[in-house]
């Protein structure tokens, strides 16, 4: 009985480990980067990004498509010793593409940190921000912290999908013209006329980053 219980526990652990590995690899493929998650560790982007915010980074967005105003994650040009998250402030050159960034809370761009940024330093563009979850992930070691983040992101995606599904407008089917005529014919004191019954009349459309 004990052997059977032990086997079941080992089996469950293996299943969970394989599942986590599959999820992690899947996230790397989806977001196009070895590490899609970063925890903000400085206040250089306050108030847009606060310390302990978790960033979901999309590395599939080409460096050539990055524009002024985008928030990106990149390796510090001077030594590649730190990961930085700052906003693109200017395109310095197009051949090769070189950009300058600046932290929203910093008065000026810092040479060797904010520029020059080339495709070699680029990691990805910030796609989502999960506020303050880093408080939990900072006290845990990989891969547990990543698993927690992955679960949170998964829940967010599912909720977003469900919401968009619920928000889809429902349309009522319009009976064929012959059926319409038949229905009107059943109504007393109502004269049907092709020239007076306009099916084309419709109501107006509603106007509608662990970086530093």
- Whether 112 maps to a domain, the answer reads yes
Give the count of alpha carbons within 13 A of 44, CB side only: 23
CATH number assigned to the domain comprising residue 93: 2.10.109.10
Number of domains in the chain: 1
- Whether 17 maps to a domain, the answer reads yes
Backbone φ and ψ for 195, nearest 5 degrees, come out as -75, -25
The DSSP code for 5 is H
- Whether 177 maps to a domain, the answer reads no
Q: Which residue range is the domain that position 154 belongs to?
A: 2-161
pTM value?
Answer: 0.62
137 in Cβ contact with 45 (< 8 Å): no
How is the beta sheet containing 83-94 ordered, strand by strand? 37-39, 54-58, 122-130, 71-75, 83-94, 97-102
d(CA 113, CA 85): 10
Long-range contacts from 151-155, C-beta under 8 angstroms, 24+ separation: 152/54, 153/27, 153/56, 153/128, 154/23
Per-residue pLDDT of the chain (212 residues), as tens digits, is 666 777 777 777 788 777 767 777 877 788 888 888 888 989 999 999 999 898 999 999 999 999 999 999 999 999 999 999 999 999 999 999 999 999 999 999 999 999 999 999 999 999 989 888 777 666 666 666 666 666 766 666 666 667 666 665 554 444 444 444 444 444 444 343 343 334 344 444 444 445 76
Backbone φ and ψ for 60, nearest 5 degrees, come out as -80, -15
- Whether 174 maps to a domain, the answer reads no
């Amino acid at each position: 009985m004990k052997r059977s219980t032990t086997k079941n526990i080992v089996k469950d652990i293996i299943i969970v480990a394989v599942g986590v590995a599959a999820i992690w690899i899947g996230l790397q493929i989806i977001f196009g980067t070895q590490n899609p998650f970063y925890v903000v560790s400085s206040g250089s982007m306050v108030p847009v990004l606060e310390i302990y915010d978790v960033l979901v980074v999309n590395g599939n967005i080409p460096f050539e498509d990055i524009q002024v105003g985008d928030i990106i994650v990149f390796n510090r040009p001077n030594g590649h010793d730190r990961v930085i998250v700052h906003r693109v402030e200017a395109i310095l050159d197009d051949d090769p593409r070189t950009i300058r960034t600046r932290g929203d809370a910093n008065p000026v761009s810092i040479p060797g940190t904010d520029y020059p940024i080339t495709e070699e330093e680029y990691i990805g563009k910030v796609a989502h921000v999960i506020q303050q979850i880093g408080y939990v992930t900072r006290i845990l070691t990989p891969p547990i912290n990543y698993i927690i983040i992955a679960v949170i992101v998964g829940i967010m995606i599912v909720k977003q999908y469900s919401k968009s599904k619920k928000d889809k407008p429902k349309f009522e089917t319009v009976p064929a013209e012959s059926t319409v005529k038949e229905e009107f014919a059943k109504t007393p004191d109502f004269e049907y006329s092709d020239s007076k019954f306009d099916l084309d009349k419709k109501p107006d459309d509603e106007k509608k980053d662990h970086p530093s």
